[in-house]
Structure 1
Amino acid sequence: MSMNTSVIVNHYSYRVQWSAEDGEYVGTCAELPGLSWLDESPAKTLNGIQKVAGEAVADMEANGGKIPEPYGPLFV
């Protein structure tokens, strides 16, 4: 993952919430809605979804895909 890509991923909007259905926390990324990560603690969940987002963006970059821009202050 390039430096620019890692900066982009660090500016993405992440959400971690409890999933009663799964009995774990679920993490999602607003800019990459197809991704999620389940884990036993909020911190591990956030770390996991950020790692998966970074891998997804690196794959997009390697294959010439369009990398989503961070929503930043536009996300409500």
Structure 2
Amino acid sequence: ATGNYLDDLSAESHVILTNAKAEVEILKAQVGDYLQFIRNGYFCLDSKSWEQGNRVYNRTVTLRDSWAKMKQKMGL
């Protein structure tokens, strides 16, 4: 750790998905709402991007991949 949190972030911390598909209900999301995106985790609408007229969703919780753990234990 360098003491600078930006140096300690994973290179995969900033991923932009283009052409992602979602149900139309996502357009009703407000700052403070939490949404689950299938197979990716739970996300919240970014307040700064919202103020600028954009929709950026920040992942707050990842989903566990219990199947991968099971496969590893089984040696698959």
Q: Which has the higher contact order (CA 8 A, sep 6+)?
A: 1
Task: Flag the structure with larger Rg.
Answer: 2
TM-score by length of 1: 0.28
TM-score, with length taken from structure 2: 0.28
